[in-house]
Amino acid sequence: MQNTTLNRLKLAFLLFIAFVPITLATVAYRNAVENGGFGATVNKGNLIMPPADITDLTMTDASGAPMFKSFEEIIAEIENDDDYIPQPWLMVFMTANACDSACEERIHLLRQMHITLNEDMPRVRRYYLNATGENLPQATADFFREEYPEMGIAQGNKQVITENLAAKNVLLDLDTNNYVFFVDPVGNVMMYYEPHHPIQDIKTDLEKLLGLSSLG
């Protein structure tokens, strides 16, 4: 009986947390775009509909251990509704090449933009995703830890990521481009930006998403 009650609580919790607000910001943002609610400057980035999942990015630590689980996996492990801990939004910079001067400049500007979020800064965490399929060179990892200690570092596989996102109608060219992805607090990969998108465009969209969402 206790297991049945617990399973029902988990299901109710999953439906309440996942089904209702899981794409709250995404849906509200899409509706605003379609209805002109934000004006002509909305949707500066590329909206992913339906969203991909954080696990599609295959983010692992240096030992190869997965860094993120799907929202459903997280919920399945919760024994009590009160144990759920809201997660931050993620801003993931992805490249499958060595981080050259242009890459370093982009990362620096993303850090500066993050700081200008002011009181919303703690709601967002930044990650560098090295999608070469190999560990980040030690010199680069040391540089990032020294210059950007608050930025997480993840490894990923270019081919797997490209195939996963292609299934969600997101076509990447990781041989020549880097990308910035937004991931909402329940693991929806829901917007991305290419090198031609200025940092101000990324900030504009992020501020609107944070304003629309009660999550994170």
pLDDT digits (tens, 9 = 90+) for 89-134: 999 999 999 999 999 999 999 999 999 999 999 999 999 999 998 8
**How many CB atoms sit inside 10 A of residue 147's CB?**
12
State which fold the 2-212 domain adopts: Glutaredoxin (3.40.30)
Whether 59 and 67 have beta carbons less than 8 Å apart is answered as yes
Confidence band of 11 (pLDDT split at 50, 70, 90): very low
Per-residue pLDDT, 20: 43
**Structural domain boundaries in the chain:** 2-212
**What is the pTM for the complete model shown?**
0.84
Residue 130 near residue 153 (C-beta atoms within 8 A): yes
Query: Per residue in 38-89, pLDDT tens?
Result: 444 466 899 898 899 999 999 999 899 999 999 888 878 877 766 777 789 9
Tell me the two tokens of residue 1: 């009986």
| Ranges of H-type helices in the chain | 2-14, 24-35, 71-76, 101-115, 138-147, 158-166, 199-212
Report the helix count and the strand count for the chain, using DSSP H and E.
7, 6
Q: Give the separation between CA 122 and CA 2, rounded to whole angstroms.
A: 38
Phi/psi-derived region of residue 36, left when phi > 0, alpha when psi is between -120 and 50, beta in every other case: left
Cis peptide before 66 (omega within 30 of 0): no
Say if residue 21 is exposed, middle or buried (CB neighbours under 10 Å; 0-12, 13-18, 19+). middle
pLDDT value at residue 99: 94
